[in-house]
Structure formats: C-alpha cells, structure tokens
Amino acid sequence: MATVRSIAQPDSRAMDFVSRTHKMLINGQWVEAVSGKTFPTYNPATGEVLSRIAEGDREDIDRAVKSARAAFETGPWSRLTPSERGRLIWKLADLLEQNLEEFAELETLDNGKPFKVARVADVPLAVDLFRYMAGWATKIEGTTIPISVPYAPGAKYLAYTLREPVGVVGQIIPWNFPLLMAAWKLGPALATGCTVVIKPAEQTPLTCIRLGELVQEAGIPDGVVNIVPGYGETAGAALAAHPGVDKIAFTGSTEVGKLILQAAAGNLKKVSLELGGKSPNVVLGDVDVNAAIAGSASAIFFNHGQCCCAGSRLYIEDQIFDRVVEGVAEQAGKIRVGSGMDSTTDMGPLVSEEQLNRVCGYLESGLSDGAKAVVGGSRFGDKGYFVKPTVLVNTNDKMKVVQEEIFGPVVTAIPFKDTEELVTKANDTVYGLAAGIWTRDIQKAHRIASQLRAGTVWINCYNIFDAALPFGGYKQSGWGREMGKDVLELYTEVKAVCAAI
C-alpha cells in the first residue's frame, strides 16, 4: 500500500463552487435557512471543512413542501405534455454531461472517492439514468380492460386505467453515491410528473446542490425540484413525517428505514426503501480462479466497501479456499490508498470520522472474537479517514462481522463444502439485497440464483448497474425497486375509469 498522498488541486470551477456558502433551493429561489444556521461539509481526505451549507429544518421543509405542492397542482409543470417533460429531463442529462469533470471533482472532494472512478462511474451513470427516464415520460400508459359485471347483464362499459403521478415526493439521499442516488430518485419523479423535495445527506450535499443549478438552467419550472440540505434527525425526519408529502423515497440504513416508516404512518404516505445489505458472493470450485479473485476483490473494495450491495461475505468452495483468499488478499495489498484527487489512487478515505470509527470498531470486534486479518485490519495513516482493505478469515456465523453491515472495505472469507449448506448460509441474514456467483457451470449458477433471496444476483460479474435494470431488496433490504420500468410503479397511482356506454 502506498502512503496517503496530498490532495491535487481541482479545477477552478469546482474550487469556486466549494469556496461558496451554499443556500437551499425552494420555489426556484436560493434561500438561507429560516433559522439562519449553516453546517459544514468536510473533505474526508484531510478532515478539513470544505464548505458551509444552509441548514434546513422543519420550517424549511414545510416551505419546500408547499412549493412542491403548488407546482404540482397549479404550476406550469402540471400542464406540460409528456414529451415536453421528457425533453427537459434530456436537457438536464446534457447539462450534467457537459459539466462531468466538475461534478466528478465535487464528488471526490465531498465524498472521498477517487476522481477517476467518479468520472467514469458516478457521473456517466447519472447522465444515463436521466436519459433513460426521459424516454419513459412519453410511455407511461394504462390499459383498457374488458369487464364482465355479473350483476348487470346486458350493460356495456368502457373501462380503462390511467397511471397518474403520485404527487409531492420527499427524497432522502445517502452519502455513498451522492449524485447518482439523487438521479435514481429525481429521474423517475420527473418522468412521471411528480414534484420533489430532496434532502441530500449532510456528509455530501455538494453535487445535489450543483444539480439544482442545472435543474434551473434546463428550464424545469420553479418549485418542481426543491432541495433542502440538513441533518437526518431534523430535516430528514420532518420530510418523512410531513402530511403534505404523498410519497417518501429513502436510501440509507435499515435502522433509519424503520424510522422513516414510522414517521410516514401519520398520513400513510407511500414509502419506498433501499436499505442495507450483507451480500454473499459465492465462488464455486470449478471457477476460472483468476477472474473470481479479481471480481471478488472488486465486489467488496469498489467504493471502499461503501455500497449497500457490497459482496461482504465471500463464500469459497473448500478445495480452492486458500488460493482464492490468498489472491483476494494480494489484490487488497496492491490497492493504492490515498486522496481521491490523486490520479494513481485506487481507494480514497471513508466518508466521515463516524464511519471510520464504525468500521474500525467492527475490525476490533472481529479480531477480538477470534477472526484473523490475512491483510489489513486497521486504520491507514493518522490523517483523513482511511482504512486498510481487509480480508478476514477464521470467522463463525455468530460474529458481528459476519452478520452486520460494516459498510467499509472489509470482507469475511468463509469456506463451504456443498451447495445446499451454502444456500442456507448465504440466506441466513436479515438482508436480501444482492448476491454474486462465480462458476463455469451455468446450470448450477442459475439454480443457485433461483434459491438466493436477493433482489439482484450477478453471475460471473459483480456491481453491474444499468438504468434499465431494477434494483432493490428482499427482506429487510427494502421495499420497491428503483431504476428500470419497475420504478415507475413507485411514482404513480393507478386510476380505474369505468364508463357506461
């Protein structure tokens, strides 16, 4: 592992943006918080304050919800044709693409991830998502339904369904893919004709705020997109509980997901949740070992393990266990840890001091429970929030490091003998977000895929995302699917219209 490098100088546009104190976007105006308060966002590579942001709270959320309601009920947005809506979303995608490097730099500065990753993954995926959703704006259809009505013999009816926007949507965004997660939520809301109040994560509000500027530049009418940065317990909780919100879309921890659900009960708003995971990544004995090693390393170490679908439980068939563990550990050892702005960096810091402490706490707990770190096992350096990529062995099913979501670059490698035992173990957590299977035996791969209780199963690949592919969880990993055609269900109501003819 290389030493922690100093931060390279970002482009002047990103620096200019970072140097400003940011306001919140309500009804097309950039305004300060009602309280006048601001909060800091930090550069996780250095621990230093990056920018200050208006700190939204209950009153700001209330103003934003009223603005979204007015835009939904009576604003120009409500009168736009689907085609016009689609064009605006496409324009937003174009603007994002034109500013790709700036967005990638802002993401790196705020979240810590390598710039070289943000510019090929986070930002292009967000652009693609908006384009995909722009296409859906004109294809949201109901059906005509032949009905029988047994108690009205001889009568004739024309019956059909309409898919209508659900209304005002609250969207609570996590910090691991700040721009992309905002796009996953904003894209379908705009395509279906909803209006939104977005609360970015307090650790990483910058790209969402910058996206708000592009929303205006694209010509999306005032009040359609409102952005209220602030803390989860205040602004987030107020949004989840607000009686004027018709639907809340949340991505974050399972623990907070349950709070969202309780808060939503007041007005029974619709809820979609994309929550935690402890995903099994399974390597069978017949595999192309080198491909499985490279794929399993990236399954856990991509985005520093800060992915809800990270392949954090690595199940390896007995006969190749030592070889695969050695290979993944070797890959981990080669990962260059440092500032995300350095072009040679493979892994940046964790997002915050809190996450650093949380991940290090898990490492200490695993090691004191008897697990062994083949590589890594501790913090990296003493400045910034870096953790060494870690492979743990000698674990058992009861350990916290095997059961709980760590959300860091830590994988537990576990041997197995037969696939029946494997499937039981793989399914033995409260989560069900994703899974990976590595094998040359495609029949076996599909059989295991059908037995795994997970919203996504990758075969001989991992972390493959596409705007057209639905993503979401079984069990306590969530409710509903984002992306693909399925997401439209989360943002629409079905109206049945029945006319006697």
Nearer to ligand ADP, 329 or 434 (CB): 434
Nearer to ligand ADP, 134 or 172 (CB): 172
Please count the residues of this chain forming the interface with ligand ADP, following the rule CB under 6 A. Answer: 17
35 makes contact with ligand ADP (CB under 6 A):
no
Angle between the N-to-C axes of helices 206-218 and 178-192, in degrees from 0 to 180, rounded to the nearest 10:
30
**At its nearest, how many Å lie between ligand ADP and the CB of residue 31?**
20
**At its nearest, how many Å lie between ligand ADP and the CB of residue 287?**
33
**At its nearest, how many Å lie between ligand ADP and the CB of residue 408?**
11
Q: Exactly one of 27, 35, 138, 253 binds ligand ADP (CB under 6 A); which one?
A: 253
User: Is 353 one of the annotated active-site residues of the chain?
Assistant: no
Going from the C-alpha of 131 to that of each of 89, 330, 362, 481, the distances in angstroms are 7, 39, 40, 18
173 makes contact with ligand ADP (CB under 6 A):
yes
Instruction: Give the C-alpha separation, 459 to 115, whole Å.
Output: 28
Q: Exactly one of 11, 48, 233, 420 binds ligand ADP (CB under 6 A); which one?
A: 233
Here the contacts of 125-129 (C-beta below 8 Å, separation 24 or greater) are: 125/180, 125/183, 125/465, 125/467, 126/96, 126/179, 126/180, 126/182, 126/183, 127/93, 127/96, 127/97, 127/100, 128/93, 128/466, 128/467, 129/180, 129/183, 129/184, 129/187, 129/467, 129/483
Angle between the N-to-C axes of helices 82-98 and 206-218, in degrees from 0 to 180, rounded to the nearest 10:
130
237 makes contact with ligand ADP (CB under 6 A):
yes
Nearer to ligand ADP, 231 or 479 (CB): 231
CB 143 within 8 A of CB 243: no
Indicate if the alpha-carbon torsion angle 399, 405, 411, 416 is positive or negative.
positive
259 makes contact with ligand ADP (CB under 6 A):
yes
Nearer to ligand ADP, 130 or 175 (CB): 175
Q: Check residue 234 and report its DSSP letter.
A: I
236 makes contact with ligand ADP (CB under 6 A):
yes
Instruction: Give the C-alpha separation, 311 to 280, whole Å.
Output: 6
**At its nearest, how many Å lie between ligand ADP and the CB of residue 258?**
10
**At its nearest, how many Å lie between ligand ADP and the CB of residue 374?**
27
232 makes contact with ligand ADP (CB under 6 A):
yes
**At its nearest, how many Å lie between ligand ADP and the CB of residue 199?**
6
User: Is 208 one of the annotated active-site residues of the chain?
Assistant: no
174 makes contact with ligand ADP (CB under 6 A):
yes
Residue among 308, 309, 405, 482 flagged as catalytic: 308
- Strand 195-199 versus strand 168-172 pairing type: parallel
Task: Give the footprint of ligand ADP on this chain (CB under 6 A).
Answer: 172-174, 199, 201-202, 231-233, 236-237, 240, 252-253, 256, 259-260
Q: Give catalytic residues, as residue numbers.
A: 274, 308
